[in-house]
Amino acid sequence: MHIHTVKRGDTLWELSQKYNVPIEHIFVANGFTNQSPLVIGQAVIIPTPSGGHIHKVLVGESLWKIGQHYGVSLQEIVKVNKIHNPAVIIPGQLLSIPIAAKPIIEVNTYTEKFGEYGVRLINDIGDYLTHLSPFSYRIQPNGSLSPIDDAAIIQAGYEKRATPMMVISNYEGGNFSPEIAHAVVADPAVQLIVIGNILTIMRQQRYVVLHVDFEYVPPADKELFNTFLQRLVDTLHPFGYLVSTALAPKLTAEQAGTLYEAHDYEIQGNIVDFVILMTYEWGWSGGPPRAVAPLNEVVKVLNYALTVIPPEKIIMGMPLYGYDWTLPYVQGGKWAPSVSSFEAVNRAAKYGSTIFYDEPSQSPYYHYYDKEGKQHVVWFEDARSVQAKYDIVKTFKLRGVSFWVLGVPFPQNWFVLGENFTIKKLV
C-alpha cells in the first residue's frame, strides 16, 4: 500500500488514475462512501498490487538501503534480480523487490459492546484478532464477580477464531477502586472466592486467557498484588489457561504515583504469560490537548519495559479514538469528548480545516472554530500514525498490539494492520 497525503485539488478519481488503482479499491481500504470528504492533509490509503514492487534506483542508493526501505534483505534482492556484484548498481536501474514475509503477531481488542451490535462488530474485524476481551468482570470486595452478557460475542469470536480473554477489574462507578484492589490482594480468603469464581466462568463461557486489569492499586500493596498474580498463575496454568496483566505506562521502576507504583514490570513480566502496556491517554479527556498516544512517549515506555520484560511477552496498547478539546484549555473545566477517525475527518471537512501531522508524536491534528466562535483542537489517529506504531512493533519484535476500544469506526487501521502482519490464531 501507499499512504497519500491529500493536497489541494485532489479527488479520489484523480488519485485512482495517478496510482493506477481502481477507485473501488481505495473506497474499501479507507471505508469510504460516496459522501466521504477529502480534506487537505488527510491520509488516504492507496492499495497496491500484491505481486511485489519495481524500484528505480536513485543516486546514492545502495542495495542495503533499498532493502531496509522495503523490509527485505539485500540477499533477497540480489537473488531475484540476478545481481553479480551487490556493490554496483546504477542510478535509473529498475529492480524487482520481492514481497517481505509479514511478521506474525498477536492482536487483542477490548470491547464494551455486547449483544447483536457487539456481534456485528466482531463479524466485521474478527479476522484481525487473536484475542477478544469483553470488559469486564468487576470484582466486589467479597470476591464475587459482577456478571456480563458475554455469551453472544464469545460465540462470534470463536467463529472468527478469536480467543476469548476474561477481563477481571477493580472498576466501580466509573473509576478504578483502590479499596476493592486492596480487599482482594490483602485477604487470601477473598482470593479463594475470586479464583473459584474465575474458574467457574472460564469453564462455562469457554475463556482461554485471564486478563487482570487492576489499576490504582495502593502502592503499599505492590508485593501483595504480585503474590496474588503468582497464585492465579499457579492455579490456572495446570488447567491450560494463560494469564496476562494490564500495566500502566511507566518510564522507570521507581516512577511515583498511585497509577504506577504497584505495577512491577519486572516481577509481573516474570510471573504472567504476557502483559499489555496501556500506552495511550497522554492526551486524555480531562487533560490538556495533545496526541493520545504520541509515539515519542510510547517509545520511552517500551525502552524501559524491554530492559526487564522480554519482547515476546509485551503487547503494545493502541487507541482507536481521539479527542476534541475546546480552547483555551481550563483545568477542571468541561472534558473533551472522544472522536473516531471518521468523525475527526468529517468535522475537519465541515469547518474547512487543514489537517496537520506532528512529526515528534507521529499524530494528526487540526484546529477549527465552531458555530459559537469557540476554537477547538482535535488530535486523532490515521493511517500514518498507526503505520508508525506498527513499525515500532516490528523494530522491537513485540508480541503484538492491543486496541482500546472496539466500536470506534476506524477502517484504515484494520487495513494497515493486515498489510503489515500475519495475525496469529490460537483456536
Closest-CA residue to 345 (of 273, 424, 412): 412
8 Å CB contact between 377 and 366: yes
257: left (phi over 0), alpha (psi -120 to 50) or beta: left
Ranges of beta strands (E only) in 50-174 are 53-56, 94-97, 104-111, 131-134, 137-139, 145-146, 163-169, 171-172
8 Å CB contact between 280 and 319: yes
**DSSP alpha helix (H) spans, 31-161:** 63-70, 74-81, 115-125, 151-159
- CA pair distance 145, 86, nearest whole angstrom: 63
- CA pair distance 187, 182, nearest whole angstrom: 8
Q: Which of 116, 172, 179, 215 is catalytic?
A: 215
Q: Is 254 a catalytic residue?
A: no
Residue with cell 466501580: 172
Closest-CA residue to 424 (of 147, 68, 107): 107
SS3 of residue 148 by DSSP: coil
SS3 of residue 377 by DSSP: strand
Closest-CA residue to 209 (of 242, 245, 176): 242
Ranges of beta strands (E only) in 273-423 are 274-277, 314-319, 321-326, 338-340, 356-358, 363-369, 375-379, 400-406, 422-423
- CA pair distance 335, 239, nearest whole angstrom: 45
CA distances, 53 to each of 22, 29, 69 (Å): 18, 19, 12
Catalytic residue positions? 215
